[in-house]
C-alpha cells in the first residue's frame, strides 16, 4: 500500500510539473509574440510610408466612391457598418493589368503582409500584388484572452473566437467583391485571389457575392 501511495504521489508530481512547464512555455510564447507584434507593426508602418500605400475599402464604400446600390439591393449595409478593418496594402507594383490579391487567415492580423507574401514577388514579376488586411485576430490577443479566461476559472472560448472571425471573413468578402465590381481603381483588370485558412472564406464569400450580383464583366482569372 505504501508503494501504491508513493506511485500516486510521483504521478501527481509529474502531472503538476508537466502542467507548470506547459504554462511557462505558453507564457513565454505569448510574451515573445507580443514583443514581435509591436516590432512588426512599426516595420509595417515604415514600409507602407516608404514603399506603398493602403486603401480602406470600408471607408471608400461609406464615402460613396464605390457603387452602394448592390449593398442596398441585397441588404448588406449592416455588414459594411459592422466590419472594423478591410484594407488593401500594396505589396508590389505591377507592369500589367493583372492584380493578385493575397488574404491571410485566422490569427494573422498583426503579421507583416510584406514579409508573409514576399516569396510571390520573384514569381509574379509583372503582376500587381495587394494584401488584404482584415480583423482576423492576432495570436497575441488570442493567447491573452485565453490566459484571462483560464485565470478567471473559465473554459477558453476558442471555438467561439474562430466562428466570430469566420463571420467577419464572410462580411469582408462582400466588401472586397464590391470593390472589384464597382470601384474605379479596380475596374478593367483581371484578378487572381490567393488565401489560406479563413482567407479562403473571404474569397468564397467574394465570389458568391459577385455571382449574386450577376456581374459578368468581372474577370476572376485564378483562385
Among 50-54, 152-156, 173-177, top mean pLDDT goes to 173-177
**What's the grid cell of residue 157?**
472560448
Alpha-carbon distances, residue 162 vs 69, 125, 198 (angstroms): 31, 35, 9
Pairwise CA distance, residues 172 & 109, whole Å:
13
- Where does the pLDDT of residue 10 fall: very low under 50, low under 70, confident under 90, or very high at 90 and above? low
Residues linked to residue 222 through DSSP beta bridges, in sequence order: 192
- Where does the pLDDT of residue 50 fall: very low under 50, low under 70, confident under 90, or very high at 90 and above? very low
Pairwise CA distance, residues 8 & 11, whole Å:
5
Among 112-116, 145-149, 195-199, top mean pLDDT goes to 195-199
Question: What pLDDT score does 158 carry?
Answer: 86
Alpha-carbon distances, residue 65 vs 69, 78, 178 (angstroms): 12, 18, 11
Q: Of 185, 154, 217, give the one whose Cα is nearest residue 88.
A: 185
Amino acid at each position: 500500500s505504501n508503494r501504491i501511495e508513493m506511485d500516486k504521489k510521483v504521478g501527481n508530481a509529474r502531472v503538476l510539473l508537466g502542467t507548470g512547464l506547459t504554462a511557462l512555455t505558453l507564457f513565454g510564447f505569448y510574451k515573445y509574440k507580443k514583443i514581435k507584434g509591436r516590432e512588426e507593426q512599426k516595420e509595417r508602418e515604415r514600409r507602407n510610408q516608404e514603399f506603398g500605400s493602403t486603401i480602406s475599402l470600408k471607408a471608400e464604400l461609406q464615402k460613396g466612391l464605390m457603387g452602394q446600390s448592390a449593398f442596398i439591393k441585397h441588404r448588406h449595409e449592416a455588414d459594411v457598418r459592422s466590419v472594423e478593418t478591410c484594407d488593401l496594402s500594396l505589396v508590389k507594383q505591377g507592369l500589367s493589368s493583372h492584380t493578385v490579391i493575397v488574404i491571410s487567415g485566422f490569427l494573422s492580423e498583426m503579421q507583416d503582409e510584406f514579409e508573409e507574401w514576399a516569396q510571390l514577388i520573384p514569381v509574379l514579376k509583372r503582376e500587381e500584388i495587394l494584401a488584404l488586411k482584415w480583423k482576423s485576430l492576432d495570436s497575441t490577443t488570442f493567447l491573452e484572452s485565453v490566459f484571462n479566461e483560464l485565470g478567471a476559472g473559465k473554459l477558453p472560448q476558442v471555438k467561439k473566437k474562430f466562428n466570430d472571425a469566420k463571420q467577419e471573413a464572410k462580411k469582408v468578402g462582400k466588401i472586397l467583391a464590391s470593390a472589384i465590381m464597382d470601384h474605379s481603381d479596380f475596374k478593367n483588370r483581371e484578378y487572381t485571389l490567393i488565401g489560406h485558412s479563413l482567407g479562403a472564406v473571404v474569397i468564397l464569400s467574394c465570389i458568391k457575392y459577385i455571382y449574386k450580383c450577376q456581374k459578368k464583366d468581372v474577370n476572376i482569372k485564378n483562385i
